């Protein structure tokens, strides 16, 4: 067996009065490649920080026997830092200007990968990276000789890189052999086995309860017969033996019924599998569009300050299309969505178009309202429906009482997505909607998009998400918008 790198013993970790993690034992050995998955707030980043020694457990011990480099999640509020470019490899160039989320991520990866370490601990390393950046990271990590532990919701990365999955669920860590696809197959097999076991439990419990009830019924019938035969027994002494025999049979039936009831109590209850409670975003009626081409651009030029992004392009967005817009970081994808949302010169939009616009970097709220109050102020839906939408976005009852200005970046972005589900929009412009979403929510969003009857334009670097949700793809490169 390879050398031990990390060892976790009897560890618990609390935040305020809530237990986040409870791990009796967990070990990492040399050259293991582990992907950590789980719902938002499950404790994935906390677990990685424990391994990195950034935080200490509430109880128990985390032992490290390796020098590890740790990369935390990107802080999107940085405004002045180092810029860099991706040209086959990551090169660092000093410039004092605002960095996009993808540029910040690439900078941190450039710093990390320029120094070899025996172990990398990476928290969401693909956040905001473009397709080339993600592929570069996959290539680098494929040939990396060392221990790798990654928190990620990028299914493409997890399939290509890891050989073990740690699922953080209900404070525990569940270990699965294989990459993400193998993990999903094992989870489905677990769900099926649990469903079969649940059905068998319900069937056996019902059989025993019915048998016990039948024996009790027969015992009652014998008791009634016994009472009737007592008078006859006084008149005819030869009936005394029959009466005693019935009493003995009655007791035997009571004992058998009681034994069956005890067996029911001893049965190990098997609950329905969690998949029975999967999240679904409800579809609602949207304003109809009679124009088959609700958005049209003719000889359109797009600038970002002095930088030319698109020159003289023409395109049509047809009703009901699900369109992916791809391109390298800085190519103009987000700027194009903004231009469409604002109806920039050169873009004609049908008067009946109602645009729902999710902005990648705009997630700060200034309101002092609670989350529930804020949602009610932004929608005409009743409180019950809004609670269901927020629950689907993994907001708890406690979260509903939080002030929106105190929400984390990930929480605020989930609120922005929730607002799309309660608005009367027939065109959705989504700029990196999958960032900060756990895989459960991401897959639920995929299902929502598949059933949505409106028009959707999505900027995303999540290849698996785009393949599931879009049928048309435009690529921005060299000031052109190319239909792929």
SS3 readout for the chain: CCCEEEEEEEEEEEECCEEEEEEEEEEEECCCEEEEECCCCCCHHHHHHHHHCCCCCCEEEEEECCCEEEECCCCCCCCCEEEEEECCCEEEEEEEECCCHHHHHHHHHHHHHCCCCCEEEEECCCCCCCHHHHHHHHHHHHCCCCEEEEECCCHHHHHHHCCEEEEEECCEEEEEECCHHHHHHHHHHHHHHHHHHHHHHHHHHHHHHHHHHHHHHHHHHHHHHHHHHHHHHHHCHHHHHHHHHHHHHHHHHHHHHHHHHHHHHHCCCCCCCHHHHCCCCCCCCCCCCCCCCCEEEEEEEEEECCEEEEEEEEEEECCCCEEEEEECCCCCHHHHHHHHHHCCCCEEECCCCCEEEECCCCCCCCCCCEHHHHHHHCCCCCHHHHHHHHHHCCCCCCHHHCEHHHCCHHHHHHHHHHHHHCCCCCEEEEECCCCCCCHHHHHHHHHHHHHCCCEEEEECCCHHHHHHHCCEEEEEECCEEEEC
Locate 160 and state its tokens. Answer: 């290509």
Please report the pLDDT score of residue 35 as a whole number: 97
Please report the pLDDT score of residue 245 as a whole number: 59
Q: How far apart are CA 482 and CA 324, in angstroms?
A: 12
Please report the pLDDT score of residue 244 as a whole number: 54
Please report the pLDDT score of residue 322 as a whole number: 94
**How would residue 100 be classed by pLDDT, with cut points 50, 70 and 90?**
low
- Which range is least confidently modeled, 302-306, 419-423, 431-435? 419-423
If you average pLDDT over residues 240-258, what whole number do you get? 65
Please report the pLDDT score of residue 361 as a whole number: 58
Residue 75 has pLDDT above 60, yes or no: no
Fold identical between 4-178 and 295-483? yes
Please report the pLDDT score of residue 92 as a whole number: 40
- Which range is least confidently modeled, 18-22, 336-340, 442-446, 460-464? 442-446
**How would residue 172 be classed by pLDDT, with cut points 50, 70 and 90?**
very high
Residue 215 has pLDDT above 80, yes or no: no
Please report the pLDDT score of residue 226 as a whole number: 64
Residue 280 has pLDDT above 70, yes or no: no
pLDDT tens digits along 409-424: 667 778 888 888 777 7
Q: Which residue has the higher pLDDT, 40 or 350?
A: 350
Residue 474 has pLDDT above 60, yes or no: yes
Please report the pLDDT score of residue 265 as a whole number: 80
Please report the pLDDT score of residue 82 as a whole number: 26
Please report the pLDDT score of residue 251 as a whole number: 74
If you average pLDDT over residues 175-193, what whole number do you get? 92
Region of residue 171 (phi > 0: left; psi between -120 and 50: alpha; otherwise: beta): left
The pair phi, psi for residue 79, each rounded to 5°, is: -115, -25
> What percentage of the chain carries pLDDT values higher than 70?
83
Please report the pLDDT score of residue 107 as a whole number: 78
Please report the pLDDT score of residue 85 as a whole number: 30
Q: How far apart are CA 427 and CA 355, in angstroms?
A: 5
Taking every pair of Cα atoms in the chain, the longest distance, rounded to a whole number of angstroms, is 118
Q: Which residue has the higher pLDDT, 355 or 262?
A: 355
Highest mean pLDDT among 253-262, 411-420, 465-474: 465-474
Please report the pLDDT score of residue 448 as a whole number: 78
**How would residue 209 be classed by pLDDT, with cut points 50, 70 and 90?**
confident
Residue 76 has pLDDT above 70, yes or no: no
| Alpha-carbon distances of 148 from 72, 109, 170, 345, rounded to whole Å | 14, 14, 24, 49
Please report the pLDDT score of residue 246 as a whole number: 56
Q: Which residue has the higher pLDDT, 252 or 35?
A: 35
- Which range is least confidently modeled, 14-23, 86-95, 229-238, 309-318? 86-95
Please report the pLDDT score of residue 84 as a whole number: 33
If you average pLDDT over residues 37-60, what whole number do you get? 91
What CATH number does the domain located at 4-178 have?
A: 3.40.50.300
Q: Which residue has the higher pLDDT, 363 or 22?
A: 22
If you average pLDDT over residues 133-149, what whole number do you get? 91
Please report the pLDDT score of residue 232 as a whole number: 58
**How would residue 243 be classed by pLDDT, with cut points 50, 70 and 90?**
low
Which CATH fold topology does 295-483 show? Rossmann fold (3.40.50)
Domain residue limits, the chain:
4-178, 188-276, 295-483
**How would residue 362 be classed by pLDDT, with cut points 50, 70 and 90?**
low
If you average pLDDT over residues 452-465, what whole number do you get? 89
Please report the pLDDT score of residue 456 as a whole number: 93
Residue 379 has pLDDT above 90, yes or no: no
Residue 462 has pLDDT above 70, yes or no: yes
């Amino acid at each position: 067996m390879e050398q031990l790198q990390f060892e976790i013993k009897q560890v618990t970790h609390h935040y305020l009065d809530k237990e986040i993690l409870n791990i009796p034992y967990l070990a990492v050995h040399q050259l293991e490649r582990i992907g950590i998955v789980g719902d938002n707030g499950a404790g994935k980043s906390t677990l990685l920080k424990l391994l990195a020694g950034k935080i200490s457990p509430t109880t128990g011990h985390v032992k490290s026997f390796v020098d590890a480099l740790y990369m935390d999640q990107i802080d999107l509020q940085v405004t002045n830092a180092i810029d860099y470019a991706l040209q086959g490899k990551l090169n660092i160039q000093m410039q004092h200007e605002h960095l996009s989320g993808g540029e910040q991520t690439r900078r941190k990866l450039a710093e990390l990968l320029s120094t070899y370490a025996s172990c990398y601990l990476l928290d969401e390393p693909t956040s905001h990276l473009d397709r080339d950046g993600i592929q570069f990271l996959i290539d680098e990590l494929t040939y990396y000789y060392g221990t790798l532990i990654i928190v990620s919701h990028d299914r493409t990365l997890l399939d290509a890189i890891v050989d073990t999955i740690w699922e953080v669920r209900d404070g525990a860590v569940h270990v699965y052999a294989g990459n993400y696809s193998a993990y999903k197959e094992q989870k489905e097999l677990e769900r099926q086995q649990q469903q079969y076991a649940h059905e068998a439990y319900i069937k056996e419990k019902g059989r025993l309860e019915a048998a016990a009830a039948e024996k009790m019924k027969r015992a009652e019938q014998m008791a009634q017969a016994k009472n009737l035969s007592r008078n006859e027994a006084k008149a005819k002494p030869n009936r005394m033996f029959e009466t005693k025999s019935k009493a003995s049979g009655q007791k035997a039936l009571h004992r058998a019924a009681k034994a069956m009831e005890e067996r029911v109590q001893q049965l190990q209850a098997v609950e329905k599998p969690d998949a029975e409670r999967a999240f679904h975003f409800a579809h609602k009626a949207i304003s109809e569009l009679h124009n088959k081409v609700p958005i049209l651009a003719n000889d359109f030029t797009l600038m970002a300050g002095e930088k030319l992004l698109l020159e003289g392009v023409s395109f049509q967005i047809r009703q009901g299309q699900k369109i992916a817009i791809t391109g390298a970081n800085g190519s103009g994808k987000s700027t194009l969505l903004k231009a469409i949302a604002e109806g920039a010169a050169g873009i004609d939009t049908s008067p009946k178009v109602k645009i729902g616009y999710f902005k990648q970097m705009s997630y700060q709220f200034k309101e002092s309202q609670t989350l529930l109050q804020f949602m009610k102020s932004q929608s005409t839906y009743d409180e019950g429906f809004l609670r269901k939408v927020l629950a689907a976005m993994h907001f708890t009852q406690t979260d509903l009482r939080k002030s929106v200005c105190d929400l984390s970046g990930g929480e605020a972005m989930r609120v922005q997505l929730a607002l799309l589900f309660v608005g009367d929009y027939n065109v959705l412009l989504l700029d990196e909607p999958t960032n900060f979403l756990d895989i459960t929510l991401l897959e639920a969003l995929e299902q929502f998009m598949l059933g949505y009857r409106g028009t959707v334009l999505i900027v995303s670097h999540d290849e698996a998400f785009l393949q599931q949700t879009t049928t048309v793809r435009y690529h921005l490169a060299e000031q052109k918008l190319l239909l792929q």
